[in-house]
Structure 1
């Protein structure tokens, strides 16, 4: 996972009898309120479109200590930074400290250590968090899970904790104890709050104030068309599942001037659906083709592909097709793929070249040379996704942006299929669609007159925000890192 910290708005809960679902609503900068209805539990998450990521305000311990944690489908442990960790106590201009909160075990009467020095998680970029496995009360405005197993980051290079909701086979405990434990989604099912270990994610659009993660069910008002089931890919052929990896069959760029299929030298394109990753990361050659389509350029200063912010107003989209030629397709518009580099003050500008004087934005498709590739928030906001950890399937459909209606349908039982869904026909977990055309027929439609904007940057950016940009990029690359190291 790749992510970055942001401010949280608050929490709203509701609960209802019959529904057998637990829902966390996503909101942006709104004060919380409390409401209850038949066994549905709503809690507020905060979305910050500049820094990216979705965070939830929780309480840990007795009495509860307020901590803001990042929601992450790409990892499996709940962990919190310890108040004594150096990153929390050694505050400086470069290190703002644990501004999202930290946990002091001495202030909790229900705290207990269950695995001393056994919590040890390392991320691909080298950042890490180490400490103890603990058990304590975990509360989201009235919903309390007693004695939840969590990590306590005593020695951590990451200043905010996480709520990992992935497979237990991806828990950090496998690297130390060689065993797993019931994580939060499993505990919700064991406590009979939900019927099966599954959840649905609806992030809504980049500027939205509402969205949700719904445990134990789906909401038929939050997507368009059919909800289609596709298989999750196991790294060992179906014996063990560790992450939400699926076959990405094709990526196409479409504008009013044409449609292009992006090509790659990869034999099989496997991508992980990861809410803890702010951007989308595709193979180097495929990402470069996407950049050429929209006139993005790679900035060595920032280590990112950037575009003029005006590109976000262009018509056109990128289509992501899954699990074979007959699989589901999700379109992502340019308005969802062009992000501000920072907030507060005017944006930086190109100081020379064909884009001189234009504001600089981050492009939502970036490059990486290592598989698996990651479909982060810049993709997920355009999709309604159900994660079924029992049947090892993903339900996916185009999102219904800004829906104000709700129709929640719970899973009937443990192992029941995703409600209101159909299986994709002729599924394939290998291979991908190859480009059969030359040139960039869609590029002129994206760029209003060709690919001139794709010329390399000739000098540094300008503008008073460049220091803040550097700090933001630092968080994006460090944040909660890329995705957890996998123990075999």
Structure 2
């Protein structure tokens, strides 16, 4: 969401309460395990067409934000959809005594913030704003607002610089505005205690947001810059396993695991690894917080897709065009149009027995943003033999996707279609490929920060 899919109300609240009561620590005192759940909007997604169109729109908006991290917020309102949000949430305890707050897990941004104070306002929220858990600073003895003179303010807030208190009075609390693919949030910077059962992290920098737009929860940024949760906790690595959600309600969850302290160079058994790529040389802090990996090849069926080199490797300049980032805050993987067109052509060739839905059909059913649908009337999705889709990374690591990670069934009246859940984006700046959470589902993934590498293996992610 760096801030850019890609989420029934009673279930959301019960899920958050359940997650907040089940936070626990693994036997190793330097390992923290946190329940990880899909997060949903206030309505059951009964209309698959609208759900997919909503998630596609969210992913494309998110991709545009990731490519244009310094863009000004739009002056017009954006679309609001009432179906699944397409993200994953965790619960954390902040304050003294601790208060439990829900956060969206986001590897595409770094800032950490929560809905804050009894005066919190959320406009165009995908859930009932009155049901969002709030953090109340006056109920915590460890809450301290950061003033504008604090160096942390200059790093967090775009209104300040290290040379002075530009944009606010030096005696005032530090303001911020964080923008995401869909929506934004603003508030004041806070120093607080993050409470795990066996360890307290004091002086944790967190945003106290009093106004948000389209945000169903707080956001825990897991990016690479100093204000992120991994950086502030001094993590050596973190891992998660995203359960497969068919954009409907579920009571299932999985785990996010945080590792602190020294760790060896040994690889986790069963994982395939690819190194993180050094981020493009840039003064743009948003590019610096992304997790770049070298995705070198797409394999559709048995054939490799020819992708020009310029799209696979980021430029080593201020623009940082090209390359691939891993983003848990995006629902669908997005690709620049030349890449998507090549992948779509390969799928069309491999699915010769299926007719591709025309552009008119796609537009009429609201799936124009998904770009690639095939007619499948009379066929059960489970019985269709799709060409395999494999992402091959530097070092030979291959992510062989289950078909539910890249195709989705859609019924329209008496007709049925299967649609590729990968988006194309016309933007030609910033990362060329954003690897979203739908394509990461039912993979155990590891961000090894100490050894600067990304690991993964296929795994059923539901907690036992």
Both structures adopt the same fold (TM-score exceeding 0.5): yes
1:71 is the counterpart of 2:105: yes
How far does residue 374 in structure 1 lie from its aligned partner after superposition? 0.6
Which residue matches 1:285?
Answer: 338
Gap regions ≥5 residues in structure 2? 41-83, 148-172, 247-251, 313-321, 349-355
Matching of residues 441-456 of structure 1 within 5 Å: none
1:366 is the counterpart of 2:423: yes
Q: The residue matched to 2:273 in structure 1 has which SS?
A: strand
How far does residue 231 in structure 1 lie from its aligned partner after superposition? 3.5
More helix by share: 2
> CA separation in 1, counterparts of 2:100 and 2:422?
34
More displaced 10-residue stretch of structure 1: 302-311 or 49-58: 302-311
Which residue matches 1:251?
Answer: 298
Matching of residues 155-166 of structure 1 within 5 Å: 155-159=211-215, 160-166=217-223
Contact 1:223 1:384 in 2 (8 A): no
1:349 is the counterpart of 2:408: no
Aligned counterpart for 2:175 among listed residues 114, 118, 121:
118
Q: The residue matched to 1:319 in structure 2 has which SS?
A: strand
> CA separation in 2, counterparts of 1:98 and 1:213?
30
Which residue matches 1:304?
Answer: 369
TM-score between the two structures when normalised by the length of structure 2 = 0.62
How far does residue 290 in structure 1 lie from its aligned partner after superposition? 3.7
1:53 is the counterpart of 2:87: yes
How far does residue 284 in structure 1 lie from its aligned partner after superposition? 1.4
> CA separation in 2, counterparts of 1:8 and 1:321?
39
> CA separation in 1, counterparts of 2:195 and 2:15?
13
Which residue matches 2:319?
Answer: none
User: How many pairs are equivalent?
Assistant: 350
Contact 1:247 1:271 in 2 (8 A): yes
Report the CA distance shift for 1:289/1:404 in structure 2 as closer, same or farther (over 3 A). Answer: same
> CA separation in 2, counterparts of 1:202 and 1:213?
9
Report the CA distance shift for 1:289/1:206 in structure 2 as closer, same or farther (over 3 A). Answer: farther
Which residue matches 2:406?
Answer: 337
Contact 1:247 1:322 in 2 (8 A): yes
1:154 is the counterpart of 2:219: no
Gap regions ≥5 residues in structure 1? 13-27, 169-180, 341-347, 406-488
> CA separation in 1, counterparts of 2:91 and 2:19?
13
Contact 1:205 1:381 in 2 (8 A): yes
Report the CA distance shift for 1:4/1:110 in structure 2 as closer, same or farther (over 3 A). Answer: farther
Q: The residue matched to 1:102 in structure 2 has which SS?
A: coil
Q: The residue matched to 1:41 in structure 2 has which SS?
A: strand
Contact 1:337 1:378 in 2 (8 A): yes
How far does residue 79 in structure 1 lie from its aligned partner after superposition? 0.4
1:320 is the counterpart of 2:391: yes
Which residue matches 2:170?
Answer: none
> CA separation in 1, counterparts of 2:324 and 2:453?
12
Which residue matches 2:232?
Answer: 187
Which residue matches 2:187?
Answer: 131
Matching of residues 196-207 of structure 1 within 5 Å: 196=236, 198-203=237-242, 205-206=244-245
Q: The residue matched to 2:34 in structure 1 has which SS?
A: coil
Which residue matches 1:432?
Answer: none
How far does residue 339 in structure 1 lie from its aligned partner after superposition? 4.7
Report the CA distance shift for 1:166/1:130 in structure 2 as closer, same or farther (over 3 A). Answer: same
Report the CA distance shift for 1:278/1:143 in structure 2 as closer, same or farther (over 3 A). Answer: farther
Which residue matches 2:35?
Answer: 44
> CA separation in 1, counterparts of 2:32 and 2:93?
16
How far does residue 388 in structure 1 lie from its aligned partner after superposition? 3.5
> CA separation in 2, counterparts of 1:162 and 1:120?
13
TM-score between the two structures when normalised by the length of structure 1 = 0.60
How far does residue 4 in structure 1 lie from its aligned partner after superposition? 5.3
1:7 is the counterpart of 2:12: yes
> CA separation in 2, counterparts of 1:362 and 1:100?
33
